[in-house]
Amino acid sequence: MDAFQAMELAKAGLLLMLTIAGPMLIGSLIVGVAVGLFQALTQIQEMTLTFVPKILVLGIVLLLSLPMIGRALAGFMARIADIIVAG
Going residue by residue through the chain, which has 87 residues, state the pLDDT in tens, using 9 for 90 and above.
788 989 999 999 999 999 999 999 999 999 999 999 999 899 888 888 888 999 999 999 999 999 999 999 999 999 999 998 987
Helix, strand, coil percentages for the chain (3-state, nearest 5): 90, 0, 10
Q: Given this model, what pLDDT does residue 1 score?
A: 75
Domain ranges of the chain: 20-86
Looking at residue 19, its pLDDT comes to 92
C-alpha span between 78 and 81 (Å, rounded): 5
**pLDDT of res. 44:** 84
- Backbone angle region of 43, left / alpha / beta, with phi > 0 → left and psi within -120 to 50 → alpha: left
What span, in angstroms and rounded, lies between the C-alpha atoms of 36 and 32? 6
